[in-house]
Amino acid sequence: MKVGITGGIGSGKSYVCRVLKELGIEVFDCDSEAKRLMRNSPELRQQLTALIGPETYTPEGILNKAAVAKFLLASPSNAKAIDAIVHPAVFEAFRQSGLDYMESAILFESGANVLVDKVIVVIAPKEIRLQRVMERDGISREQALQWMNRQLPQQEVIRKADFVLINDGEADIDNQINKIIKQCNKPF
């Protein structure tokens, strides 16, 4: 069974994936894979440069994350254009990985949900999520909100998911994870 793990920025997906790894379950990280492909794939490098411009990579060939983020956040159509390049490559990498678990902040938005049988959504209150993102990334509240607003509302993701995992700093994460794994019939 293939299982997707999603949740808004700052919800604690990465923490949940670390717990799963401690239980012997390796999780494919879509975000890390997208970054790796954007840095290393000649095909993606060519397509992104054609889309965004020569500032996409430095003269040394290093991905200019600031230029990509500026382009991506400038308009929904820009974000869709980048996604149309990156997402298919990430999906193919997941298929080839042989892994059963996938972490994706934008599982439904990207269409990656079709690659999995069950979906776990990690949730937390908005203010906790904002605080986590601002501290983790060293960004302003406004910037954190900009990233948060690019994702589906938490309630919508909850409606689409099979399991809800509460990561508010009070709920017992380990107990919730163990119950979900048992329901997914995944040995650990």
Domains of the chain: 1-26+99-188 (3.40.50.300), 31-97 (3.40.50.300)
97 is in an annotated binding site: no
Please give the pLDDT value at position 184: 81
C-alpha distances in Å from residue 24, one per residue of 18, 19, 181? 10, 9, 12
pLDDT at 185 (0 to 100): 63
Asked if residue 168 has pLDDT above 50, the reply is: yes
Average pLDDT value for residue range 32-48: 95
For 50-105, how does the pLDDT look when each residue is reduced to its tens digit (9 = 90+)?
Answer: 999 999 999 999 999 999 989 988 998 999 999 999 999 999 999 999 999 999 98
Residue 111 has pLDDT above 50, yes or no: yes
Residue 188: per-residue pLDDT:
41
pLDDT of residue 187 exceeding 60 = no
What was the pLDDT predicted at 6?
96
13 annotated binding-site participant: yes
8-state DSSP, 105:
T
To the nearest whole number, what is the mean pLDDT of the chain?
93
* pLDDT tens per residue, range 171-182: 999 999 999 988
Report pTM. Answer: 0.86
Q: DSSP characters for 27-87?
A: EEEHHHHHHHHHHH-HHHHHHHHHHH-GGGB-TTS-B-HHHHHHHHHH-HHHHHHHHHHHH
Question: What average pLDDT does range 160-172 have in this prediction?
Answer: 94
Is 32's pLDDT higher than 90?
A: yes
pLDDT confidence bin for 170, thresholds 50/70/90? very high
The answer on whether 10 is annotated among ligand-binding residues is yes
Residue found under tokens 């997208």? 34
Per-residue confidence (pLDDT) for residue 73, from 0 to 100: 85
For 17, the token pair is 């994936």
